Amino acid sequence: MKVTIEVDCTPLEAREFMGLPDVQPMQTAMMDKLQERMSNTIDQFSPEAIMQNWFMFDPKMAGRIQDMFANMAGLGTGRTKT
């Protein structure tokens, strides 16, 4: 025997029927807080700020990045370093 029951309701109605709490106010508050934190720190993720942080960490980083790109370009052309 096979029984199929189809219930047509919104997610809010399903939560209320099962006795689950309404989490919409909490989700709204958390999203507002997340958006505020992201907009306060967005300047830290600009390409200029990221490169500045890298170069402040190690002054020789510019040469290392240049060597890395040169090595990748050499690998792409199939040439080997002699």
* pLDDT tens track for 9-54: 998 899 999 999 988 899 999 999 999 998 888 877 788 877 777 7
The reported pLDDT for the residue numbered 45 is 77
- Does 79 score more than 70 pLDDT? no
Q: So where are the chain's domains?
A: 39-82
Task: Tell me the C-alpha distance between 55 and 81, whole Å.
Answer: 27
Q: What per-residue confidence (pLDDT) applies to 69?
A: 85
d(CA 73, CA 12): 56
Pick the most confident of 14-18, 31-35, 55-59, 73-77.
31-35
pLDDT surpasses 70 at 59: no
Structural contact between residues 54 and 61, judged by C-beta atoms closer than 8 angstroms: yes
Measured CA to CA in angstroms, residue 52 lies from 26, 37, 65, 72, 80 at distances of 37, 22, 13, 23, 32
Contact 74, 81 (CB under 8 A): yes
